[in-house]
A and B are shown apart, each in its own frame.
Chain A
Amino acid sequence: MASVTQNFMKLFRGSSGSPADAPQIQQKLTRRSSGLGELSRLWDSETPLCVLDLGSTSAANIRFFTERSHKIYSEDLLVASTEPHLVTKDEQGAMVLDSRKFLADNLQYPAAHFDVVLCWNLPDYLDESLVRPVMGRLWSVLKPGGMLLAFFHTKDAGPDSPCYRFHIVEKDTLEMQRIMMRREARRGPTGAIHTAVVDSFRLQRVFNNRHIETLFRDFASIKFFLARDNVREVLVVR
């Protein structure tokens, strides 16, 4: 009963709530990842790697990389995309997210800084207005030859496909936790923008192979791994 009350009260919390308040996480599934397995040969590098993890803050991932003397950067772009000040109107008056503001606040790294970017399922759940600008920025912060791993749903996935956070448990094995709740920016009756806690991130779109190739057209190569759970893993090389 207490948890019902807590969830109810969350609906009335304003933007002062911390990002950590938002994602409520349950369920853990283990999944083999061919893309991660392909990347694993890099982890034994004696030269410390710079790894950018764009999923939810994961102690497991931080431990995985720091135990191997690599440097890990953590930045949760899905949570960052819920900041109310990003909401603006396009020429047709529709609410969109301001990609310039978003990139001014996030992914602020020197060019060619990272050896690996772990994108996870970000492109599928990120707002349409941010997808291409973010991929462009990721290209620029990757070193030439650097690799990016992303997961895409196949056409069989519905809009309610759960959004997960990913924890690396072995070189080719992930533990997935469903993200149950998140913040959402909304315009109130007075026009003021505020945040509300709503159900988890929703699948925004399903990319087909051609869309994915177009999304990563500036990269040197692209490799697809089809998994059994309606997910394609994509490994691209800058």
Chain B
Amino acid sequence: MPMIKAYILVKARVGKLENILNEAKKVENVENISVVAGDVDLIIKVKVKSLEKLMELTDKLQMIDGVKQTTTYIIEKEITI
């Protein structure tokens, strides 16, 4: 079955990063979580079966206390090790 992969960029409220991290780790289909320096705080890579599942996942992330904004980048093509 073809899978949909996406990067979700998360901006966090000050002081809420640790909570978001702990909650995001529990979310299903999250492949990778990176804390980054810059205008966004987290880059989360996800792998889901459908666009509907992607929406459910972003919903779950947005509902985590402290998440200010999420931006989703769907991966059209990927080359990786």
**A and B: bona fide binding partners:** no
